[in-house]
Chains A and B, each alone.
Chain A
Amino acid sequence: MKTIYLDHAATTPVDPQVIETMIPYFSTYFGNASSLHSYGRDAYDALEESRKQVAELIKARKQEIIFTAGGTESDNIAIKGVAYQNKQKRQTKGPHIITSTIEHAAVLEVCKHLQTQGYKIEYLPVDTEGIVNTTELENTISKDTFLITIMTANNEIGTIQPIEKIGRIAHDHDVLFHTDAVQAIGKMNLDMAKNKVDLLSISSHKIYGPKGVGALYIREGVRIEPLIHGGGHERGLRSSTENIPGITGLGKACELAAQRMEKDTIYLKKLRDQLIKGLLEIEESFLNGHPTKRLVNNAHFRFTGIEGESLVLGLNDKGVAAATGSACSSKKLQSSHVLTAIGIDPIHAHGSLRLTLGRENTADEIAYVIKVLPEIVDHLRTMSPLWNR
Protein backbone atom coordinates (compact mmCIF):
# COMPACT_ATOMS: atom_id res chain seq x y z
CA MET A 1 0.00 0.00 0.00
CA LYS A 2 1.16 3.50 -0.82
CA THR A 3 1.59 5.54 2.32
CA ILE A 4 1.02 9.24 2.80
CA TYR A 5 3.04 10.94 5.49
CA LEU A 6 1.16 13.84 7.08
CA ASP A 7 3.06 14.19 10.34
CA HIS A 8 5.82 16.64 9.45
CA ALA A 9 5.43 18.46 12.77
CA ALA A 10 6.66 15.26 14.44
CA THR A 11 9.60 14.85 12.12
CA THR A 12 10.58 14.99 8.44
CA PRO A 13 12.46 12.66 6.08
CA VAL A 14 16.08 13.68 5.54
CA ASP A 15 16.49 15.35 2.16
CA PRO A 16 18.70 13.34 -0.26
CA GLN A 17 20.94 16.40 -0.76
CA VAL A 18 21.36 16.62 3.01
CA ILE A 19 22.38 12.96 3.21
CA GLU A 20 24.84 13.47 0.37
CA THR A 21 26.38 16.41 2.23
CA MET A 22 26.74 14.40 5.43
CA ILE A 23 28.22 11.17 4.08
CA PRO A 24 31.88 12.26 3.59
CA TYR A 25 32.02 13.45 7.21
CA PHE A 26 31.57 9.96 8.63
CA SER A 27 34.76 8.39 7.33
CA THR A 28 36.57 10.57 4.79
CA TYR A 29 36.61 13.85 6.72
CA PHE A 30 36.18 12.28 10.12
CA GLY A 31 38.57 14.54 12.00
CA ASN A 32 38.07 16.31 15.29
CA ALA A 33 37.45 20.00 14.57
CA SER A 34 39.82 20.92 17.41
CA SER A 35 42.83 19.06 15.90
CA LEU A 36 45.62 21.00 14.24
CA HIS A 37 46.30 18.61 11.36
CA SER A 38 44.51 18.61 8.03
CA TYR A 39 41.84 16.15 9.22
CA GLY A 40 40.98 18.58 11.95
CA ARG A 41 41.02 21.60 9.64
CA ASP A 42 38.64 19.89 7.19
CA ALA A 43 36.23 19.21 10.02
CA TYR A 44 36.63 22.76 11.31
CA ASP A 45 35.95 24.26 7.89
CA ALA A 46 32.79 22.16 7.58
CA LEU A 47 31.69 23.25 11.05
CA GLU A 48 32.13 26.93 10.24
CA GLU A 49 30.51 26.62 6.80
CA SER A 50 27.48 25.01 8.47
CA ARG A 51 27.36 27.79 11.04
CA LYS A 52 27.21 30.29 8.20
CA GLN A 53 24.36 28.39 6.53
CA VAL A 54 22.31 28.39 9.73
CA ALA A 55 23.00 32.06 10.37
CA GLU A 56 22.00 33.05 6.85
CA LEU A 57 18.59 31.39 7.16
CA ILE A 58 17.66 33.69 10.06
CA LYS A 59 19.79 36.68 8.98
CA ALA A 60 22.02 36.38 12.01
CA ARG A 61 25.79 36.61 12.30
CA LYS A 62 27.80 33.43 12.20
CA GLN A 63 29.25 33.97 15.67
CA GLU A 64 25.73 34.16 17.10
CA ILE A 65 25.02 30.47 16.38
CA ILE A 66 25.98 27.53 18.59
CA PHE A 67 25.28 23.91 17.73
CA THR A 68 23.40 21.65 20.13
CA ALA A 69 21.97 18.15 20.20
CA GLY A 70 18.44 19.25 19.24
CA GLY A 71 15.55 21.57 19.91
CA THR A 72 15.09 20.36 23.47
CA GLU A 73 18.71 21.04 24.31
CA SER A 74 18.59 24.48 22.69
CA ASP A 75 15.56 25.38 24.84
CA ASN A 76 17.30 24.09 27.96
CA ILE A 77 20.54 25.96 27.28
CA ALA A 78 18.67 29.17 26.48
CA ILE A 79 16.27 29.25 29.42
CA LYS A 80 18.43 27.73 32.16
CA GLY A 81 21.51 29.49 30.81
CA VAL A 82 19.82 32.90 31.07
CA ALA A 83 18.18 31.99 34.40
CA TYR A 84 21.44 30.93 36.06
CA GLN A 85 23.19 34.00 34.68
CA ASN A 86 20.53 36.30 36.14
CA LYS A 87 19.78 34.57 39.41
CA GLN A 88 21.60 37.10 41.57
CA LYS A 89 20.67 40.21 39.67
CA ARG A 90 17.10 41.04 40.43
CA GLN A 91 15.80 39.49 43.52
CA THR A 92 13.31 41.67 45.27
CA LYS A 93 10.55 39.06 44.94
CA GLY A 94 12.55 36.33 43.28
CA PRO A 95 13.76 36.17 39.67
CA HIS A 96 10.82 36.14 37.28
CA ILE A 97 10.27 34.47 33.89
CA ILE A 98 7.22 34.90 31.65
CA THR A 99 6.13 32.11 29.30
CA SER A 100 2.84 30.87 27.84
CA THR A 101 0.53 27.96 28.64
CA ILE A 102 0.95 26.44 25.16
CA GLU A 103 4.72 25.99 25.01
CA HIS A 104 6.31 22.68 24.04
CA ALA A 105 7.31 20.42 26.95
CA ALA A 106 10.95 21.35 26.23
CA VAL A 107 10.10 24.83 27.55
CA LEU A 108 7.32 24.08 30.05
CA GLU A 109 9.24 21.39 31.88
CA VAL A 110 12.32 23.60 32.11
CA CYS A 111 10.17 26.34 33.64
CA LYS A 112 8.61 23.88 36.08
CA HIS A 113 12.07 22.75 37.09
CA LEU A 114 13.20 26.34 37.63
CA GLN A 115 10.20 26.87 39.91
CA THR A 116 11.70 24.28 42.24
CA GLN A 117 14.92 26.34 42.21
CA GLY A 118 13.31 29.53 43.49
CA TYR A 119 12.34 31.16 40.20
CA LYS A 120 8.87 32.63 39.76
CA ILE A 121 7.20 31.66 36.49
CA GLU A 122 4.17 33.35 34.93
CA TYR A 123 2.28 31.16 32.44
CA LEU A 124 0.37 33.58 30.21
CA PRO A 125 -2.98 32.33 28.90
CA VAL A 126 -3.85 32.46 25.19
CA ASP A 127 -7.11 33.28 23.42
CA THR A 128 -9.35 30.66 21.75
CA GLU A 129 -7.18 30.80 18.64
CA GLY A 130 -3.99 30.30 20.59
CA ILE A 131 -2.53 33.81 20.59
CA VAL A 132 -0.84 35.47 23.56
CA ASN A 133 -2.28 38.81 24.60
CA THR A 134 0.58 41.31 24.35
CA THR A 135 -1.10 43.89 26.61
CA GLU A 136 -1.37 41.28 29.31
CA LEU A 137 2.23 40.31 28.65
CA GLU A 138 3.37 43.88 29.15
CA ASN A 139 1.33 44.21 32.36
CA THR A 140 2.90 41.06 33.73
CA ILE A 141 6.44 42.37 33.46
CA SER A 142 7.86 43.45 36.80
CA LYS A 143 11.28 44.71 37.78
CA ASP A 144 12.16 41.12 38.68
CA THR A 145 11.44 39.87 35.18
CA PHE A 146 14.58 39.00 33.22
CA LEU A 147 13.28 36.60 30.55
CA ILE A 148 10.27 36.10 28.29
CA THR A 149 10.12 32.75 26.49
CA ILE A 150 7.29 32.38 24.00
CA MET A 151 7.29 30.08 20.99
CA THR A 152 7.25 31.44 17.44
CA ALA A 153 4.66 28.90 16.28
CA ASN A 154 2.87 26.11 18.10
CA ASN A 155 3.65 22.49 17.31
CA GLU A 156 0.06 21.26 17.73
CA ILE A 157 -2.32 23.86 16.37
CA GLY A 158 0.22 25.84 14.32
CA THR A 159 -0.72 29.26 15.70
CA ILE A 160 1.91 31.95 15.04
CA GLN A 161 2.64 34.40 17.86
CA PRO A 162 3.29 38.13 17.34
CA ILE A 163 7.00 37.72 18.08
CA GLU A 164 8.01 41.07 16.60
CA LYS A 165 5.74 42.82 19.05
CA ILE A 166 6.78 40.60 21.95
CA GLY A 167 10.42 41.35 21.13
CA ARG A 168 9.77 45.08 21.18
CA ILE A 169 7.99 44.87 24.53
CA ALA A 170 10.81 42.80 26.01
CA HIS A 171 13.40 45.20 24.68
CA ASP A 172 11.53 48.28 26.00
CA HIS A 173 11.55 46.75 29.47
CA ASP A 174 15.14 45.54 29.36
CA VAL A 175 14.05 41.90 29.44
CA LEU A 176 15.59 39.14 27.32
CA PHE A 177 13.38 37.34 24.78
CA HIS A 178 13.82 33.68 23.86
CA THR A 179 11.63 32.00 21.26
CA ASP A 180 11.32 28.32 20.38
CA ALA A 181 11.22 28.49 16.58
CA VAL A 182 11.54 24.73 16.06
CA GLN A 183 8.26 24.54 14.11
CA ALA A 184 8.52 27.91 12.40
CA ILE A 185 11.96 27.57 10.86
CA GLY A 186 11.83 27.22 7.09
CA LYS A 187 8.09 27.95 7.00
CA MET A 188 8.20 31.69 7.58
CA ASN A 189 10.71 34.49 7.40
CA LEU A 190 12.66 34.97 10.60
CA ASP A 191 14.96 37.93 10.54
CA MET A 192 17.24 38.42 13.53
CA ALA A 193 18.55 41.67 12.07
CA LYS A 194 15.08 43.19 12.28
CA ASN A 195 13.47 41.34 15.19
CA LYS A 196 14.34 41.96 18.80
CA VAL A 197 14.85 38.30 19.54
CA ASP A 198 17.74 37.51 21.89
CA LEU A 199 17.73 33.72 21.74
CA LEU A 200 16.09 31.36 19.24
CA SER A 201 15.92 27.55 19.21
CA ILE A 202 16.26 25.47 16.05
CA SER A 203 15.95 21.72 15.50
CA SER A 204 17.33 19.97 12.43
CA HIS A 205 14.89 17.07 12.08
CA LYS A 206 11.87 19.30 11.50
CA ILE A 207 13.45 20.82 8.39
CA TYR A 208 14.55 17.69 6.47
CA GLY A 209 17.78 17.36 8.42
CA PRO A 210 19.01 14.54 10.68
CA LYS A 211 17.72 13.95 14.21
CA GLY A 212 19.76 14.79 17.31
CA VAL A 213 21.16 18.10 16.05
CA GLY A 214 19.99 21.62 16.65
CA ALA A 215 21.20 25.15 17.01
CA LEU A 216 20.71 28.08 19.31
CA TYR A 217 20.92 31.67 18.18
CA ILE A 218 22.32 33.92 20.92
CA ARG A 219 22.38 37.61 20.10
CA GLU A 220 25.82 39.13 20.41
CA GLY A 221 26.28 40.56 23.91
CA VAL A 222 23.75 38.22 25.59
CA ARG A 223 25.46 36.30 28.36
CA ILE A 224 24.39 32.83 29.47
CA GLU A 225 25.79 30.26 31.86
CA PRO A 226 26.81 27.03 30.18
CA LEU A 227 25.04 23.83 31.23
CA ILE A 228 27.56 21.40 29.77
CA HIS A 229 31.08 22.00 31.02
CA GLY A 230 34.11 20.41 29.43
CA GLY A 231 36.61 21.10 26.68
CA GLY A 232 35.20 24.52 25.85
CA HIS A 233 33.62 23.80 22.47
CA GLU A 234 31.08 26.23 21.00
CA ARG A 235 32.56 29.20 22.82
CA GLY A 236 32.46 27.28 26.07
CA LEU A 237 28.66 27.23 25.96
CA ARG A 238 28.30 23.62 24.91
CA SER A 239 31.31 21.41 25.35
CA SER A 240 31.69 18.07 23.54
CA THR A 241 33.42 17.20 20.27
CA GLU A 242 31.20 18.59 17.53
CA ASN A 243 28.90 16.18 15.68
CA ILE A 244 30.22 17.19 12.27
CA PRO A 245 28.06 14.85 10.12
CA GLY A 246 24.92 16.02 11.92
CA ILE A 247 25.97 19.65 11.86
CA THR A 248 26.76 19.63 8.12
CA GLY A 249 23.32 18.03 7.66
CA LEU A 250 21.66 20.83 9.58
CA GLY A 251 23.68 23.42 7.65
CA LYS A 252 22.61 21.98 4.30
CA ALA A 253 19.00 21.69 5.47
CA CYS A 254 19.08 25.40 6.38
CA GLU A 255 20.56 26.32 3.02
CA LEU A 256 17.85 24.35 1.21
CA ALA A 257 15.17 25.87 3.45
CA ALA A 258 16.36 29.37 2.55
CA GLN A 259 16.40 28.55 -1.17
CA ARG A 260 13.00 26.88 -1.16
CA MET A 261 11.12 28.93 1.39
CA GLU A 262 9.19 31.09 -1.02
CA LYS A 263 8.12 28.23 -3.26
CA ASP A 264 7.50 25.88 -0.35
CA THR A 265 5.26 28.27 1.53
CA ILE A 266 3.07 29.00 -1.48
CA TYR A 267 2.81 25.29 -2.29
CA LEU A 268 2.14 24.12 1.27
CA LYS A 269 -0.46 26.79 1.88
CA LYS A 270 -2.36 25.69 -1.19
CA LEU A 271 -2.36 22.04 -0.08
CA ARG A 272 -3.25 23.02 3.48
CA ASP A 273 -6.22 25.10 2.37
CA GLN A 274 -7.41 22.31 0.07
CA LEU A 275 -7.27 19.94 3.04
CA ILE A 276 -9.03 22.30 5.43
CA LYS A 277 -11.78 23.06 2.95
CA GLY A 278 -12.32 19.38 2.19
CA LEU A 279 -12.42 18.17 5.77
CA LEU A 280 -14.64 20.95 7.08
CA GLU A 281 -17.31 19.48 4.79
CA ILE A 282 -17.65 16.70 7.35
CA GLU A 283 -20.60 17.22 9.68
CA GLU A 284 -19.59 18.58 13.11
CA SER A 285 -15.96 19.12 12.17
CA PHE A 286 -14.03 22.17 13.31
CA LEU A 287 -10.66 23.77 12.67
CA ASN A 288 -8.53 24.35 15.80
CA GLY A 289 -6.19 27.32 16.01
CA HIS A 290 -6.16 30.53 14.01
CA PRO A 291 -7.69 30.71 10.50
CA THR A 292 -4.81 32.72 9.01
CA LYS A 293 -2.06 33.19 11.61
CA ARG A 294 -1.07 29.56 11.32
CA LEU A 295 1.86 27.63 9.94
CA VAL A 296 1.55 27.02 6.21
CA ASN A 297 1.72 23.25 6.72
CA ASN A 298 -0.59 22.81 9.72
CA ALA A 299 -4.21 21.64 9.64
CA HIS A 300 -5.74 20.73 13.00
CA PHE A 301 -9.31 19.52 13.47
CA ARG A 302 -11.76 18.14 15.94
CA PHE A 303 -14.64 15.84 15.15
CA THR A 304 -17.57 15.49 17.54
CA GLY A 305 -18.29 12.06 18.95
CA ILE A 306 -15.07 10.22 18.15
CA GLU A 307 -11.74 9.63 19.80
CA GLY A 308 -8.45 10.58 18.17
CA GLU A 309 -6.40 7.42 18.66
CA SER A 310 -9.07 5.39 16.86
CA LEU A 311 -9.06 7.96 14.10
CA VAL A 312 -5.27 7.86 13.73
CA LEU A 313 -5.23 4.05 13.65
CA GLY A 314 -8.10 4.04 11.18
CA LEU A 315 -6.14 6.43 8.96
CA ASN A 316 -3.02 4.31 9.35
CA ASP A 317 -5.01 1.35 7.98
CA LYS A 318 -5.62 3.48 4.88
CA GLY A 319 -1.92 4.34 4.62
CA VAL A 320 -2.15 7.83 6.10
CA ALA A 321 0.18 8.87 8.95
CA ALA A 322 -1.36 11.50 11.24
CA ALA A 323 -1.32 12.62 14.89
CA THR A 324 -3.83 13.42 17.63
CA GLY A 325 -3.96 15.38 20.88
CA SER A 326 -6.10 12.67 22.47
CA ALA A 327 -5.22 11.55 25.96
CA CYS A 328 -5.33 7.90 24.91
CA SER A 329 -2.38 8.44 22.64
CA SER A 330 -0.22 10.26 25.16
CA LYS A 331 2.18 8.71 27.62
CA LYS A 332 0.49 10.48 30.51
CA LEU A 333 -3.08 9.73 29.39
CA GLN A 334 -3.90 13.43 29.58
CA SER A 335 -5.39 15.35 26.74
CA SER A 336 -3.33 18.06 25.13
CA HIS A 337 -2.49 21.08 27.32
CA VAL A 338 -2.63 23.22 24.19
CA LEU A 339 -6.23 22.28 23.37
CA THR A 340 -7.18 22.84 27.01
CA ALA A 341 -5.50 26.27 26.91
CA ILE A 342 -7.56 27.37 23.90
CA GLY A 343 -10.71 26.39 25.75
CA ILE A 344 -11.61 23.11 24.08
CA ASP A 345 -13.42 20.79 26.47
CA PRO A 346 -11.80 17.39 27.11
CA ILE A 347 -14.41 15.45 25.14
CA HIS A 348 -13.70 17.44 21.99
CA ALA A 349 -9.96 17.44 22.68
CA HIS A 350 -10.10 13.65 22.49
CA GLY A 351 -11.46 13.91 18.96
CA SER A 352 -8.63 16.03 17.62
CA LEU A 353 -6.54 15.30 14.55
CA ARG A 354 -3.32 16.99 13.41
CA LEU A 355 -2.28 16.77 9.77
CA THR A 356 1.03 18.48 8.98
CA LEU A 357 2.24 18.69 5.40
CA GLY A 358 5.64 18.59 3.80
CA ARG A 359 7.18 19.41 0.47
CA GLU A 360 6.87 15.85 -0.82
CA ASN A 361 3.07 15.77 -0.42
CA THR A 362 0.89 16.20 -3.50
CA ALA A 363 -2.60 17.47 -4.29
CA ASP A 364 -3.59 13.89 -5.19
CA GLU A 365 -2.59 12.73 -1.73
CA ILE A 366 -4.70 15.45 -0.13
CA ALA A 367 -7.63 14.47 -2.35
CA TYR A 368 -7.23 10.86 -1.17
CA VAL A 369 -7.31 11.94 2.49
CA ILE A 370 -10.42 14.02 1.85
CA LYS A 371 -12.01 10.91 0.38
CA VAL A 372 -11.10 8.33 3.06
CA LEU A 373 -11.27 10.38 6.23
CA PRO A 374 -15.07 10.94 6.19
CA GLU A 375 -15.56 7.16 5.88
CA ILE A 376 -13.47 6.54 8.99
CA VAL A 377 -15.23 9.28 10.93
CA ASP A 378 -18.61 7.81 9.92
CA HIS A 379 -17.57 4.30 10.92
CA LEU A 380 -16.40 5.47 14.37
CA ARG A 381 -19.54 7.54 14.82
CA THR A 382 -21.80 4.54 14.17
CA MET A 383 -20.16 2.99 17.25
CA SER A 384 -20.19 6.11 19.40
CA PRO A 385 -22.65 6.74 22.24
CA LEU A 386 -21.83 10.44 21.94
CA TRP A 387 -23.05 10.78 18.37
CA ASN A 388 -26.65 11.85 17.95
CA ARG A 389 -28.14 9.61 15.34
Chain B
Amino acid sequence: MADLYSKKVMDHFRNPKNHGEIKDADATGTVGNAVCGDLMTIYLKIKNDTIIDIKFLTFGCAAAIATSSMITELAKGKTLDEALKITRKDVADELDGLPPIKMHCSNLAADALHEAIKNYRKKKTKK
Protein backbone atom coordinates (compact mmCIF):
# COMPACT_ATOMS: atom_id res chain seq x y z
CA MET B 1 0.00 0.00 0.00
CA ALA B 2 1.13 3.54 -0.63
CA ASP B 3 1.46 4.94 2.86
CA LEU B 4 0.14 8.27 3.96
CA TYR B 5 3.09 8.49 6.32
CA SER B 6 6.82 7.75 6.22
CA LYS B 7 7.97 4.29 7.21
CA LYS B 8 9.36 5.71 10.45
CA VAL B 9 6.05 7.27 11.42
CA MET B 10 4.32 3.95 10.80
CA ASP B 11 7.00 2.06 12.80
CA HIS B 12 6.44 4.32 15.80
CA PHE B 13 2.67 4.16 15.37
CA ARG B 14 2.73 0.36 15.24
CA ASN B 15 5.27 -0.11 18.02
CA PRO B 16 5.22 3.03 20.14
CA LYS B 17 8.07 3.41 22.60
CA ASN B 18 7.51 4.40 26.22
CA HIS B 19 3.76 4.65 26.32
CA GLY B 20 1.86 4.60 29.58
CA GLU B 21 1.80 6.57 32.78
CA ILE B 22 4.52 7.21 35.35
CA LYS B 23 2.52 7.10 38.57
CA ASP B 24 5.11 8.96 40.68
CA ALA B 25 6.22 11.36 37.95
CA ASP B 26 8.24 14.41 38.97
CA ALA B 27 6.45 16.47 36.35
CA THR B 28 3.82 16.18 33.66
CA GLY B 29 2.93 18.34 30.68
CA THR B 30 -0.37 18.22 28.80
CA VAL B 31 -1.04 20.00 25.54
CA GLY B 32 -3.65 19.84 22.80
CA ASN B 33 -7.36 19.61 22.96
CA ALA B 34 -9.43 16.46 22.60
CA VAL B 35 -12.09 18.48 20.80
CA CYS B 36 -9.58 19.13 18.01
CA GLY B 37 -8.60 15.48 18.00
CA ASP B 38 -5.18 15.55 19.62
CA LEU B 39 -4.37 15.41 23.32
CA MET B 40 -0.97 14.51 24.72
CA THR B 41 0.52 14.09 28.21
CA ILE B 42 4.23 13.63 28.89
CA TYR B 43 5.40 12.17 32.21
CA LEU B 44 8.95 12.81 33.47
CA LYS B 45 11.21 11.29 36.13
CA ILE B 46 14.05 13.70 36.78
CA LYS B 47 17.32 13.29 38.70
CA ASN B 48 20.10 15.89 38.86
CA ASP B 49 18.36 17.93 36.20
CA THR B 50 18.43 14.95 33.83
CA ILE B 51 15.47 13.05 32.38
CA ILE B 52 15.90 9.50 33.62
CA ASP B 53 12.50 8.24 32.55
CA ILE B 54 9.84 9.56 30.21
CA LYS B 55 6.44 8.22 29.10
CA PHE B 56 3.44 9.44 27.21
CA LEU B 57 -0.29 9.04 26.82
CA THR B 58 -1.77 10.30 23.58
CA PHE B 59 -5.22 10.53 22.05
CA GLY B 60 -4.87 11.29 18.37
CA CYS B 61 -3.99 10.21 14.88
CA ALA B 62 -1.01 8.10 13.84
CA ALA B 63 1.14 11.25 13.52
CA ALA B 64 0.30 12.30 17.08
CA ILE B 65 1.20 8.87 18.42
CA ALA B 66 4.43 8.67 16.41
CA THR B 67 5.64 12.13 17.46
CA SER B 68 4.90 11.26 21.11
CA SER B 69 6.88 8.07 20.83
CA MET B 70 9.75 9.85 19.06
CA ILE B 71 10.04 12.61 21.63
CA THR B 72 10.41 10.11 24.44
CA GLU B 73 13.36 8.59 22.60
CA LEU B 74 14.92 11.97 21.86
CA ALA B 75 14.56 13.29 25.40
CA LYS B 76 15.53 10.28 27.48
CA GLY B 77 18.89 10.82 29.21
CA LYS B 78 19.07 14.49 28.23
CA THR B 79 19.51 17.33 30.71
CA LEU B 80 16.53 19.65 31.04
CA ASP B 81 18.36 22.41 29.18
CA GLU B 82 19.18 20.05 26.33
CA ALA B 83 15.61 18.76 26.24
CA LEU B 84 14.24 22.28 25.98
CA LYS B 85 16.22 22.70 22.76
CA ILE B 86 14.33 19.87 21.00
CA THR B 87 11.95 21.51 18.54
CA ARG B 88 8.86 20.39 16.68
CA LYS B 89 10.96 20.39 13.54
CA ASP B 90 13.54 18.04 15.14
CA VAL B 91 10.75 15.57 15.92
CA ALA B 92 9.33 15.75 12.39
CA ASP B 93 12.82 15.43 10.84
CA GLU B 94 13.65 12.38 12.95
CA LEU B 95 10.45 10.79 11.62
CA ASP B 96 11.51 11.54 8.01
CA GLY B 97 8.86 14.23 7.78
CA LEU B 98 5.13 14.54 8.33
CA PRO B 99 2.38 15.39 5.82
CA PRO B 100 2.08 19.22 5.72
CA ILE B 101 -1.46 19.18 7.09
CA LYS B 102 -0.22 17.31 10.19
CA MET B 103 2.74 19.57 10.93
CA HIS B 104 0.72 21.90 13.09
CA CYS B 105 -2.07 19.98 14.78
CA SER B 106 -0.46 16.61 15.37
CA ASN B 107 3.08 17.70 16.12
CA LEU B 108 2.59 18.69 19.73
CA ALA B 109 5.06 16.37 21.43
CA ALA B 110 7.84 18.96 21.77
CA ASP B 111 5.33 21.37 23.30
CA ALA B 112 4.23 18.73 25.80
CA LEU B 113 7.84 18.03 26.78
CA HIS B 114 8.62 21.74 27.23
CA GLU B 115 5.42 22.17 29.24
CA ALA B 116 6.44 19.34 31.57
CA ILE B 117 9.90 20.85 32.12
CA LYS B 118 8.38 24.26 32.78
CA ASN B 119 6.00 22.74 35.31
CA TYR B 120 8.92 20.96 36.99
CA ARG B 121 10.92 24.17 37.32
CA LYS B 122 7.93 26.11 38.60
CA LYS B 123 7.36 23.48 41.25
CA LYS B 124 11.02 23.59 42.31
CA THR B 125 11.23 27.35 42.66
CA LYS B 126 8.13 27.27 44.87
CA LYS B 127 9.72 24.80 47.28
By a beta-carbon cutoff of 8 Å, the part of chain A in contact with chain B is: 305-307, 309-310, 313, 316-317, 326-329, 331, 333, 335, 345-347, 350, 382-386
Complex interface: stretch among B46-54, B55-63, B74-82, B83-91: B55-63
Taken together as a complex, chains A and B put the C-alpha atoms of A382 and B14 apart, in Å, by: 13
- Per a CB cutoff under 8 Å, which of B1, B19, B61 touches A383? B19
Q: Assess the A329–B16 pair: CB atoms within 8 A.
A: no
Q: Which residues of the other chain, A, contact B41 by a CB distance below 8 angstroms?
A: 385
Known contacts A328-B37, A386-B34; is-contact A307 B1 (Cβ 8 Å): no
Q: Which 4 pairs of residues, A with B, have the shortest CB-CB distance?
A: A328-B61, A309-B61, A385-B57, A346-B35
Taken together as a complex, chains A and B put the C-alpha atoms of A328 and B67 apart, in Å, by: 15
Within 8 A of A (CB), among B78-127: 101-102, 105-106
| 22 pairs of residues in contact across A and B, judged by CB atoms under 8 Å | A307-B38, A309-B61, A309-B62, A310-B65, A313-B4, A313-B10, A313-B13, A313-B62, A316-B1, A328-B61, A328-B105, A335-B37, A345-B35, A346-B37, A347-B34, A383-B16, A383-B19, A383-B20, A383-B57, A383-B58, A384-B58, A385-B57
Taken together as a complex, chains A and B put the C-alpha atoms of A99 and B64 apart, in Å, by: 37
- Per a CB cutoff under 8 Å, which of A306, A317, A327, A333 touches B59? A306
Q: Assess the A382–B19 pair: CB atoms within 8 A.
A: yes
Q: Which residues of the other chain, B, contact A316 by a CB distance below 8 angstroms?
A: 1
Q: Assess the A326–B37 pair: CB atoms within 8 A.
A: yes
Q: Assess the A383–B65 pair: CB atoms within 8 A.
A: yes
Taken together as a complex, chains A and B put the C-alpha atoms of A333 and B58 apart, in Å, by: 18
Q: Assess the B101–A333 pair: CB atoms within 8 A.
A: yes
Known contacts A385-B30, A385-B40; is-contact A307 B59 (Cβ 8 Å): yes
Least Cβ–Cβ distance between B95 and chain A, in angstroms: 15
Q: Assess the A329–B61 pair: CB atoms within 8 A.
A: yes
By a beta-carbon cutoff of 8 Å, the part of chain B in contact with chain A is: 1, 4, 10, 13-14, 16, 19-20, 30, 34-41, 56-65, 101-102, 105-106
Taken together as a complex, chains A and B put the C-alpha atoms of A33 and B7 apart, in Å, by: 50
Taken together as a complex, chains A and B put the C-alpha atoms of A307 and B57 apart, in Å, by: 13
Least Cβ–Cβ distance between A361 and chain B, in angstroms: 20
Chain B CB count within 10 A is highest, among A328, A329, A331, A345, for A328
Least Cβ–Cβ distance between A6 and chain B, in angstroms: 15
Q: Which residues of the other chain, A, contact B34 by a CB distance below 8 angstroms?
A: 346-347, 350, 386
Q: Which residues of the other chain, A, contact B56 by a CB distance below 8 angstroms?
A: 383
Q: Which residue of B lies closest to A350 (CB)?
A: B37
Known contacts A350-B37, A382-B20; is-contact A305 B59 (Cβ 8 Å): yes
Q: Assess the A317–B14 pair: CB atoms within 8 A.
A: yes
Q: Which residue of B lies closest to A327 (CB)?
A: B37
Taken together as a complex, chains A and B put the C-alpha atoms of A350 and B101 apart, in Å, by: 17
Q: Which residues of the other chain, B, contact A309 by a CB distance below 8 angstroms?
A: 61-62
Least Cβ–Cβ distance between B56 and chain A, in angstroms: 8
Least Cβ–Cβ distance between A194 and chain B, in angstroms: 44
Add 8 more A-B contacts to A382-B19, A384-B59, A385-B58 (CB < 8 A): A313-B10, A313-B62, A316-B1, A328-B64, A328-B106, A329-B61, A333-B105, A385-B30
- Per a CB cutoff under 8 Å, which of B19, B57, B62, B102 touches A310? B62
Q: Which residue of A lies closest to B4 (CB)?
A: A313
Least Cβ–Cβ distance between A259 and chain B, in angstroms: 34
Q: Which residue of A lies closest to B5 (CB)?
A: A313
Q: Assess the A384–B57 pair: CB atoms within 8 A.
A: yes
Q: Assess the B61–A326 pair: CB atoms within 8 A.
A: yes
Least Cβ–Cβ distance between B17 and chain A, in angstroms: 11
Taken together as a complex, chains A and B put the C-alpha atoms of A346 and B63 apart, in Å, by: 19
Known contacts A316-B1, A317-B14, A335-B37; is-contact A385 B59 (Cβ 8 Å): yes
Q: Which residues of the other chain, A, contact B38 by a CB distance below 8 angstroms?
A: 307, 328
Q: Which residues of the other chain, B, contact A327 by a CB distance below 8 angstroms?
A: 36-37
